[in-house]
Structure 1
């Protein structure tokens, strides 16, 4: 089983490689770098096999705004595993460990834009996110609540997600 630990500054190049290879492009790697550089990486974990980073997950701070009220939440983006290590449980282990740490820290709402069949296994549901206003609103926008969390409002992401998402 992979060893899971918090990401360190010296992991940036290996994380970029994981992101680029997992997605076959640089968009997610660029997003990770922008979020980390801005200090918006609330929780970032890596999975290692024989000392090599083979998986990565990042959660960033976001807010749910409803009128004059603002509620803290987290966004999962992105989750990546090297192609040769996919379908081995590494992605699930990363998400489950991150969820445990987030719940222990008092977080109550997580949002993800991703494949419903995959993320539903962790409790993410579109019907939980359907009433949120978001530039990313679609069937792939899902939420998971661990406690008392808002049911509606505008999702406000970190600036690296784009001007429309962070306004």
Structure 2
């Protein structure tokens, strides 16, 4: 019986991840979807956290991907680190089988294990609500996407210790590669 294997992305996964992203975000008007370039640029910047780039592998084939990278939350009290989720992709022939949910949950679990406190995402509220995401603006978080309302979402991860600081509030600043998407 073939099972879904969830693990951090390794060096040999670059090509397979690129193919999953290209297929999942394919559009007839572009040769390569911007999500492909986004991941490649994020890998090369200091927002990249190797343990939080997760792949879903089925039958030896990479079929899903979820990426968490660094963002900064700035407020009048200073700034703090948080994470952003995306892109998330599943190969078209493996969609609607739970692979996306599994790979996102694996990434969120890995972030929790690393002691991270906050994740933001821009995406479908109906999809991301299953993980506990809710409107980010109601948590005191702003971004270039705040005006979109419900799709701008955040998730507070469980604290690693009882004396962990509360999750940050303020303006979420994305690393430069996000400006191209």
Q: TM-score, normalized by length of structure 1? A: 0.90
> Which of 142, 149, 167 is matched with 2:167 structurally?
149
Q: 1:92 aligns with which of 101, 105, 118?
A: 101
Q: CA deviation at 1:111?
A: 0.3
**What 5-or-longer segments of structure 1 have no aligned partner?**
none
- Do the aligned partners of 1:41 and 1:58 also contact (CA within 8 Å) in 2? no
- Structure 1 stretches (4+) deviating beyond 4 angstroms? none
- The count of aligned residue pairs is 162
Distance change in 2, residues 1:122/1:141 (3 Å): same
TM score, norm. by length of structure 2:
0.84
- In the alignment, the residues of structure 2 paired with residue 64 and residue 116 of structure 1 have an alpha-carbon distance, to the nearest angstrom, of 22
Q: Distance in 2 between matches of 1:39 and 1:20?
A: 24
Tell me how far apart the structure 2 counterparts of residues 111 and 57 of structure 1 sit (CA, whole Å).
Answer: 13
Query: Larger C-alpha radius of gyration, 1 or 2?
Result: 2
Match of 2:26 in 1: 24
2:88 alignment partner in structure 1? 79
CA RMSD in angstroms comes to 1.7
Stretches of structure 2 that go unaligned for 5 or more consecutive residues are 28-32, 160-165
Aligned to 1:14: 16
